[in-house]
Chains A and B, each alone.
Chain A
Amino acid sequence: MNGNNAEQTVRNAAGFQQPLVLTVGQDIRGFLFKHLGRLALFALTVTSVLAVFLIFLFVILEAFPFLGKFSIVEFLTGTAWYPEAHGTPEFGVLALIVGSVYVTAAALVFSVPIGVLSAIFLSEIVSFRIRNIVKPIIEILAAIPSVAYGFFAVLVLAPWLQKYLGFTSGTNALNASLLLSIMALPTIISVAEDSLSATGRELREASYGLGATRFETTFKVVIPAAHSGIIAAIVLGMMRAIGETMVVWMASGNASQIPHPWWNLSQSVRTMTATIAGEMGETVKGSDHYRALFAIGLLLLLMTLLLNLVSEYFLTRAKKSLGKS
């Protein structure tokens, strides 16, 4: 009697009016709720998979009639891009591919040394406090929209190049690749710095213990240990540069030609992205030209997918090798 009363009091205080035992119905409801809910969440999560799938599907669907109509070999090896020519339009994207690769490579020539050196500075040399000052600067560089970089390239840098380097046109491969290198830098620095910082302390200490200087430790111990991560950083920077549209469209001069001689950066080039951006607005939906642009988009998509796989491979390898050490 007394015990029963006490139990009742406790139940009332805790707000439970019924015993803490689930009925069969409640149990089944709870089970269904949990698993159906989980299924619903899963369905929403698969959106990103669906998005990737749809992107491929729709770009391929729009490009497919073109690839059926024209020879893929001619498309990839032709250097003449005259999509609106009367009679026989020519769709050769080699010059555009070369243009994309050209500005990207030039950008990497500038950004890789600076990026890797900056990453070394941040992870090996300075204290946490200075790193916290420098990091926001890199974040700002990453946050500035590409159209603002393009704006700078056209209205500030191009006149400077004309004035001080004597180029006939300020919008050329040099201008575009300088800006691309600045845009690729934040990616390169942050990924490379992560992988440098992740190398074990004991590796460095062993090296210093043997009497090596910081330079020797960095180049003979830390960088070899972190090389996978640094390669991944460079590949990610390359992805950023090759997929960039606004800067190259505004700054590269947009002349569809293979640079000759190859080292002369003051020539105009035209990239795949700039071609899509510049011509898509003027095409008729469903025309050969329209489909050819989608074919270029598909090519671009495949290239970045490949680079993405390469970077994933190196990132996983970096994780594994660092996990071991």
Chain B
Amino acid sequence: MKSRYRTIFDKIFTVTTGLAVLLLVVVLFVILGPMLLRGFSAVLFKGTVEFRKMQLAEFGHGDPEQVRVESERADAVRANVYELIDNFKSGVDIEQLTDRAKEIYRNYGNELRLRELPREQYTALRSLSREIRNRLTDAFSSNSIEQIREHIEYVLQFEDDERFVNTTASGFFQLARQYQKAAAATDLDKRQEYAVELAELEDIITELLGPSPTEDSPALAQFRYGATRWDQAQKLLHRLRWKERWVEPSGKGNLNAESGVSLVRQEFSRKEQFDGTELEPLFGYIEENIDRMLEPKTTFYWRYFLDDSTPGHYFGGIGPEILGTLLLTLLSMIFVVPFGVISAAYLTECTKEGPIIRIIRMCVNTLAGVPSIVFGLFGVAFFVIFLIPLFGGPSQPCILAGSMTLAVLTLPVMIRSSEEAIRTVPRTYKEASLALGASGFRTFMTVTLPAALPGILTGVILSLSRVAGETAPILFTAGITVGPVPDSIFQKTRTLSYGSWDMAVGDKLSAQVPHNQFGMVVALILLILILNALAVFMRSRVFKRLKGQ
């Protein structure tokens, strides 16, 4: 019996250890999966005509003729939307109607003055037009259909009056007719409500289709275009269809917000709010024609890795970030590789184990354990404030300071991997060379180093991947989140790592473009995974070669 329990216990233990490893695999997929999925949509997605317009205008990519044809085709379908809204608005938007009436009155007044009429005729026309204006504004603000009819009829009796024909005053009658029609179709008591809802609706449509053709182009790039991506358009369409409201949970009617009840989200149909109005067909029209209005096409945006971006990475790519990362890492490699390889050569070839070597090794280990943020502090205190000004450079964070800081950070990695690479070279190689009378130095340069080179390169690649991902050391020594592309190593630069931080917590605008947020961090992860895969591949080849001989 006891032995059986022991066996069962043993099996449970085995399974538990297996589960621990399984958990690791699951964790890896849970972390990488969502990020990679969302990140890839920065490059491969369904782009709308707005995307192509944006690419052409902001970055100069694409075929202007084709974009023009496409946007004209889309505008033709969109025109109906704007027409429906304008019609509805003429019955609802009191302020706008009033403003228009006042404007017509003003224009007509100017026109009268220019016509140099006799004084009494001028006064009569002036007071009549004022009366018409007042009647109209009264009609606009009135809620009673009787009153409105009365006012409008009063106004319209002058429609064929020869004094007004072919003058700017004819605008009055157009306005009156329009309003008469709209007022008949609209529930006048709900006008205030409609106006609020309409404003919301117009905002969504602006987000979906871009600013309407009659508006000026906004100054900020992010407002210049509608939904550039089909998934964005789908989300906006949902918002167009459903209005979100936070209400108290049902069944607990007498609880109020102060008692700490969390509110529940509910969605109401927007269409129902406009039931029976002229605007009702709009919803069906947009839903049916959304693809004709936006013309989605599967887009492979490979220029994402080259393009600059508009503020907040709202549009565009991560070109400067990739450039900055490459600059920093390659420059730091130039600093660290000679030191690393020479140190490793000295530690393996020139000396025997002794107290000095022990101290050096301890220092390498200490260096490997120093927190990366402390390297950042060191970089500020030593490179930025002390060393670079000592040689006449500017005392400010720059690529040079950042890459030197990163070089110090990765020195232990470089030393350890080169040491290992040199150690794996078989003794027989060296002995053969020495037996031929070559000096120790010559043996190292012509025999050991070439044999160890693939191993050293593996170490270089691993250091590269480590350096490319570091953020803390460059926070104060080289990094910025917004700024121009650097043209010398004495300037700051954007990097993928600092950019990822900024996209996640720094920049509020980027939260609206999750594909670009995730695109940045996925580019960083991919860069590092590719470097690591390369290192693994090279290491396996080195092993095979050394085994084969």
Query: A interface vs B, CB < 8 Å?
Result: 30, 33-34, 37-38, 41-42, 44-49, 51-52, 54-55, 58-59, 61-62, 113-114, 117-118, 120-122, 124-125, 134, 136-141, 143-152, 154-156, 182, 185, 213-216, 218, 239, 242-246, 250, 273, 276-277, 280-281, 285, 293-294, 297, 300-301, 304-305, 307-308, 312
Cβ-defined contact, A41 with B345, below 8 A? yes
Distance between Cα atoms of A30 and B377 in the complex (Å): 45
Distance between Cα atoms of A285 and B415 in the complex (Å): 34
Cβ-defined contact, A246 with B472, below 8 A? yes
Cβ-defined contact, B350 with A156, below 8 A? no
B504 touches which one: A242, A250, A285 (CB < 8 A)?
A: A250
Q: What is the predominant secondary structure among interface residues of chain A facing chain B?
A: helix
Distance between Cα atoms of A242 and B374 in the complex (Å): 12
Cβ-defined contact, B350 with A41, below 8 A? yes
**B339, B369, B415, B465 interface centre (most CB from chain A within 10 Å):** B369
Q: What are 30 A-B contacts defined by CB distance under 8 Å?
A: A34-B439, A37-B441, A42-B350, A44-B343, A45-B360, A55-B375, A58-B378, A58-B382, A59-B374, A117-B21, A121-B18, A121-B21, A138-B24, A139-B532, A139-B536, A145-B470, A147-B469, A148-B35, A149-B31, A152-B34, A214-B14, A243-B371, A243-B373, A273-B472, A277-B472, A280-B377, A294-B381, A304-B370, A304-B374, A307-B369
B367 touches which one: A51, A140, A307 (CB < 8 A)?
A: A51
Distance between Cα atoms of A51 and B345 in the complex (Å): 19
**In the complex, chain A residues whose CB is within 8 Å of the CB of B471:** 145-147, 245-246
Given A41-B346, A141-B28, A149-B31, check contact A281 B476 (CB 8 Å). Answer: yes
B14 touches which one: A38, A52, A125, A145 (CB < 8 A)?
A: A125
User: Which residue of chain A is the closest to B338 with respect to CB atoms?
Assistant: A44
**In the complex, chain B residues whose CB is within 8 Å of the CB of A150:** 501, 504
Given A243-B370, A245-B372, A305-B366, check contact A143 B532 (CB 8 Å). Answer: yes
Distance between Cα atoms of A54 and B325 in the complex (Å): 26
Given A140-B532, A297-B373, A304-B371, check contact A44 B381 (CB 8 Å). Answer: no
Given A45-B346, A125-B17, A214-B14, check contact A145 B525 (CB 8 Å). Answer: yes
**In the complex, chain A residues whose CB is within 8 Å of the CB of B532:** 139-140, 143
The 8 closest A-B CB pairs, nearest first, are A145-B469, A243-B371, A117-B20, A121-B17, A213-B10, A245-B472, A58-B381, A215-B13
Cβ-defined contact, A151 with B35, below 8 A? yes
Distance between Cα atoms of A136 and B497 in the complex (Å): 23
Cβ-defined contact, B476 with A143, below 8 A? no
Cβ-defined contact, B469 with A49, below 8 A? no
User: Which residue of chain A is the closest to B503 with respect to CB atoms?
Assistant: A151
Kindly provide the distance from the CB of A217 to the nearest chain B CB, expressed in whole angstroms: 9
Other than A48-B411, A182-B31, give 16 A-B pairs with Cβ distance below 8 A. Answer: A48-B364, A52-B367, A138-B24, A144-B32, A146-B471, A146-B472, A147-B500, A148-B500, A148-B525, A156-B34, A182-B27, A213-B9, A246-B501, A281-B476, A294-B381, A312-B362
Q: What is the predominant secondary structure among interface residues of chain B facing chain A?
A: helix
Kindly provide the distance from the CB of A150 to the nearest chain B CB, expressed in whole angstroms: 7
**In the complex, chain A residues whose CB is within 8 Å of the CB of B367:** 48, 51-52, 55
Cβ-defined contact, B13 with A304, below 8 A? no
Kindly provide the distance from the CB of A45 to the nearest chain B CB, expressed in whole angstroms: 4
Cβ-defined contact, B521 with A151, below 8 A? yes
Cβ-defined contact, A155 with B517, below 8 A? yes
Kindly provide the distance from the CB of B9 to the nearest chain A CB, expressed in whole angstroms: 6
User: Which residue of chain B is the closest to A303 with respect to CB atoms?
Assistant: B371
Distance between Cα atoms of A305 and B371 in the complex (Å): 10
Given A280-B476, A305-B369, check contact A117 B17 (CB 8 Å). Answer: yes
Query: B interface vs A, CB < 8 Å?
Result: 6-7, 9-10, 13-14, 16-21, 23-25, 27-28, 31-32, 34-35, 338-339, 342-343, 345-347, 350, 359-360, 362-367, 369-378, 380-382, 385-386, 408, 411-412, 415, 439-441, 465, 468-472, 475-476, 497-498, 500-501, 503-505, 514, 517-518, 521, 524-525, 528-529, 532, 536
**In the complex, chain A residues whose CB is within 8 Å of the CB of B347:** 45
Distance between Cα atoms of A122 and B18 in the complex (Å): 9
**In the complex, chain A residues whose CB is within 8 Å of the CB of B366:** 52, 305, 308
B360 touches which one: A48, A113, A136, A245 (CB < 8 A)?
A: A48
**In the complex, chain A residues whose CB is within 8 Å of the CB of B528:** 143-145
Cβ-defined contact, A48 with B21, below 8 A? no
Cβ-defined contact, A213 with B6, below 8 A? yes
**In the complex, chain B residues whose CB is within 8 Å of the CB of A55:** 367, 370, 374-375, 378, 382, 408
Distance between Cα atoms of A51 and B377 in the complex (Å): 13
Cβ-defined contact, B24 with A137, below 8 A? yes
Distance between Cα atoms of A62 and B415 in the complex (Å): 29
